[in-house]
Chains A and B, each alone.
Chain A
Amino acid sequence: MKGPTLAFVVAFVVLAALHQDNWNWDRADLVFGFLPVGLAYHAGYSLVAAVFWAVVVRFGWPDRLEAWAEEPEEETDEAGGGGR
């Protein structure tokens, strides 16, 4: 596994672990006066997930795969309905 890919995998595992916010389980305090902290944490988590994927898309995009898909092959496997 190459450096950037490994970094993204580690970051993904850390993010997945952070989903389990046991420390918020019994807390009922409100953020901004209306958002229960358990909900505010996970709403923020969604934003962080979007940022994480933006970074992956920016720095870990599989360009090679895209080029491979576009390479012409002699024939396709599926003729009926499957042509490009």
Chain B
Amino acid sequence: MTSIWIIIAYLGLLLAFALGSKRFFRGTSNDYFVASRSIGPFMLLMSVFGTTMTAFALVGSTGKAFEIGVGTYGLMASSSGLIHAACFFVIGIRLWAIGKRHGYVTQIQFFRKRFQSSGLGYLLFPILVMLVVPYLLIGVIGASKTMMGLTGPKGPNPGMFPELFGATNGAIPPWLTGAVICLVVLCYIFAGGSRAAAWANTFQTLVFMAMGVLAFTLISNRLGGLGEAIANADPGHLVRTPAGEAGVSKVTFLTYMFIPLSVGMFPHLFQHWLTARSAKTFRLTVIAHPLCIAIVWVPCVLIGVWATGVPALEGATPGAVLAKMVGVLVQDPVIVGLVTAGVLAAIMSSLDSQFLCLGTIFTNDIVLHRARREYSDKAILLMARGFVVAIVALTYILSLVLFEQNVFDLAVWSFSGFAALTPLVLAALYWRRATKVGAYLSVIATAITWFVLFKRSGFGGELTVFGGVMPVAVCWVAGALGMVIGSLATRPPDAAVVARFFPQR
């Protein structure tokens, strides 16, 4: 029960901290969508890092290392350190500049104007929404499963609340966890928009980074120290040689580098970029992002590798490894509560930005874009809040309906889809010759190859092609070819349009 009180206290603190930002809310839609472009360097770093790190940062990294070994870090973390920062520098700063100059708050606004096509927005809109939804579900379902693991039956003993929740054998049921998580996030997003998200993300990111390090220190102590812990681990997990489940092929490792490109097209990250006070605000984010990744991922990967040498963890499902290592080895309800709060923090720091961005793009790219009359700023604010409530409600219902489905495998497919769309944004920003037809062909070629491969995977399973190549690489090449062929085959865009999006040489 102590653990539950700690989690309740964490949620209360988070709410208080996030709602504290309300004092700075200026009551305008611009403040709601992009915090009046006033966020400073540290908060931008924390909010961007917190948003890119999902439940996968603590739970998934440990589980994946338990499954395939030390290769997890190179596969998912060190490549992200290089590529994410590249996306912030090459894509983020330029989009911030264009967004500030022309007053954009969504990606679709930019693409519509850059390629002079309203239809491109309607093509992109469902694709972006469909790629964000599984990502949202992963968060809500992940939180529910974490709480069920914490409060569920341990061996022959029933869960924490046998009289209250008989149907789940005493565990807190998904409908309750989902409702609490969604309500907490909704409260501060509804009240303060992107400023509240930035404040909340800063708090959450500090919490999950600290809890990861805490879990690492305590677990290594219980295993007899760092040297002892690694000495007992399965030797097959200390290398990357493919053997059974462990290891990773060299081709897969190489082509996995396309996945981190996804941050270049995340709509929620785009919105965070636009909150920056100035271009210089990005400096800390670009430099410190690889270090923040190392601080979170190195300890988690080591915990996962150590777990292969702990008899009590034999046969554990990868998603349960971190919780079991803390529960079995540390056995302290205070620590269990703190680490669970850390996991929830990692999950919620992505959820809030995603809810807000969907509300923002519905409002701006569909309703206001189609509107035949001028709406007052108050009406726009009301509309955005209404959409956020609707999206939170829909996500909550979907998370209950799909609770038993394995939506976690969808994460890589969601990231692959976003990553494969980066030829579109790169060409829009750096290639003056890129045309509307090129943009359409790029999006369509990406969507078709993505769907064909997604279907081949059995709608969300693991898949590699051509002897280990990740599907994202194929989709990315298709999108790039579509952009180049479509653009070169059609007349260059008007010089006046190009001049609006490219600073003079």
Contact = CB atoms under 8 A, between A and B. Distances in A.
Interface of A: 12, 15-16, 19-22, 24-28, 30, 33-36, 38-39, 41-43, 45-47, 49-50, 52-54, 56-57, 61-62, 64-66, 68-71, 73, 76-84
B235 interface: yes
B97 A49 contact: no
Contacts of B70: 36, 38-39
Contacts of A66: 97, 278-280
Contacts of A43: 73, 78, 294, 298
Nearest to B65: A39
B227 A65 contact: no
A57 B315 CA distance: 47
Nearest to B282: A57
Interface string B239-277: 111000000001001100100000000000000000000
Contact of A65 (B94, B290, B380): B94
Interface residues of B, number: 70
Contacts of A15: 82
B207 interface: no
Given A39-B73, A65-B94, A81-B33, A73 B278 contact: no
B102 interface: yes
A62 B73 contact: no
Contact of B74 (A16, A21, A62): A21
A84 B101 CA distance: 8
Interface class of chain B by DSSP: helix
B217 to A, nearest CB: 13
Given A53-B290, A62-B279, A65-B94, A77 B109 contact: yes
Contacts of A38: 70-71, 73-74, 238-240
Interface string B87-125: 001000110111011111100010001000000000000
Contact of B290 (A28, A46, A79): A46
B365 to A, nearest CB: 10
A42 B80 CA distance: 11
B363 A42 contact: no
Given A38-B240, A39-B73, A82 B109 contact: yes
A82 B291 CA distance: 34
Contacts of B78: 19, 42-43, 45-46, 49
Contact of A78 (B71, B278, B283, B364): B364
B305 A19 contact: no
A69 B101 contact: yes
A39 B287 contact: no
Given A38-B70, A81-B380, A26 B109 contact: no
Nearest to A15: B82
B434 interface: no
B481 interface: no
A83 B286 contact: no
Contacts of A42: 73-74, 77-78
B354 interface: no
B220 to A, nearest CB: 9
Interface in B278-333: 278-280, 283, 286-291, 293-294, 298, 301-302, 305
B179 interface: no
Nearest to A65: B97
B298 to A, nearest CB: 5
Contacts of A25: 239-241, 250
B85 interface: yes
28 contacts: A15-B82, A20-B250, A22-B250, A25-B239, A34-B230, A38-B73, A39-B74, A41-B74, A46-B77, A46-B290, A47-B294, A49-B82, A49-B85, A53-B289, A54-B287, A57-B286, A64-B503, A76-B102, A77-B103, A77-B109, A78-B103, A78-B105, A78-B364, A80-B374, A81-B105, A81-B364, A82-B33, A82-B104
